[in-house]
Amino acid sequence: MTGITIALSKGRIFEETLPLLAAAGVTPAESPSSSRKLIIATNRPEVRLLIVRASDTPTYVQYGAADLGIAGRDVLIEHGGAGLYQPLDLKIACCRMCVAAPAAFDYAQAVKRGARLKVATKYIAIAREHFAEKGVHVDLIKLYGSMELAPLVGLADAIVDLVSSGNTLAANDLVVVEELMPISSRLIVNQAALKTKRAQLAPMIDAIAGAVA
């Protein structure tokens, strides 16, 4: 397929990517928040956008259904990164991956005692790696959203989740007990496309890099 296909999710990533696309001379023909279309044309006839679920972006790029994509570091770690080149930190959609627990739960003490922790999260790979490094035994419980609820109803002792303002945690009487890593979104590129379409992709990657810097 000729042309350039870019996969990204609607919401914060789409909104924060707009200025970067503009720097590459790309303006979407419509907004995914008002349109139900999943393929969005742009002012440049050879460039189109695919609107995908945030956690699916690496998969579209890995298999070459999209040449480029924009995905959070959280999503990329969980995906594993196979088939992807990750040339740029876009410094958008910034937040932190954290362990949070009820204010009344003595997390430090539980960890020190060597207690077996129940941890609910959408980020199983990140959580497994984190607790393995600390030598803490955990039962990981996979959830798909609203992780804050789990400790409130006894499903888990703690959660591993993204935190930006901390307002959602505070509203549910949870506090950050550990910070794992800063998270931002990255540009991802299909490794094969970078070779076969370099003449088209390189100027776009360079323009986006210029807008980030």
Where does this chain bind ligand ATP (CB under 6 A)?
9, 11-13, 53-55, 72, 74-75, 93-95, 145, 162, 164, 183, 185
Tell me whether residue 90 or residue 111 sits nearer to ligand ATP (CB atom): 90
Tell me whether residue 2 or residue 144 sits nearer to ligand ATP (CB atom): 144
Min dist CB 100 to ligand ATP, Å, is 13
Tell me whether residue 53 or residue 116 sits nearer to ligand ATP (CB atom): 53
Question: DSSP letters along 168-209, please?
Answer: HHHHTTEEEEEEEEEE-EEEEEEHHHHHHTHHHHHHHHHHHH
Q: What is the four-CA torsion angle of 20, 21, 27, 28, rounded to 10 degrees?
A: -110
Tell me whether residue 17 or residue 111 sits nearer to ligand ATP (CB atom): 17
Min dist CB 162 to ligand ATP, Å, is 4
Min dist CB 72 to ligand ATP, Å, is 2
Min dist CB 144 to ligand ATP, Å, is 7
What are the start-end ranges of the E strands in the chain?
A: 4-8, 39-41, 47-51, 68-72, 84-89, 95-102, 117-121, 138-142, 158-163, 174-183, 185-190
Closest-by-Cβ residue to ligand ATP is 72
Alpha carbons 17 and 163: distance in angstroms, whole number:
20
Min dist CB 201 to ligand ATP, Å, is 23
Cα Rg of the chain (Å, integer): 19
Tell me whether residue 5 or residue 17 sits nearer to ligand ATP (CB atom): 17
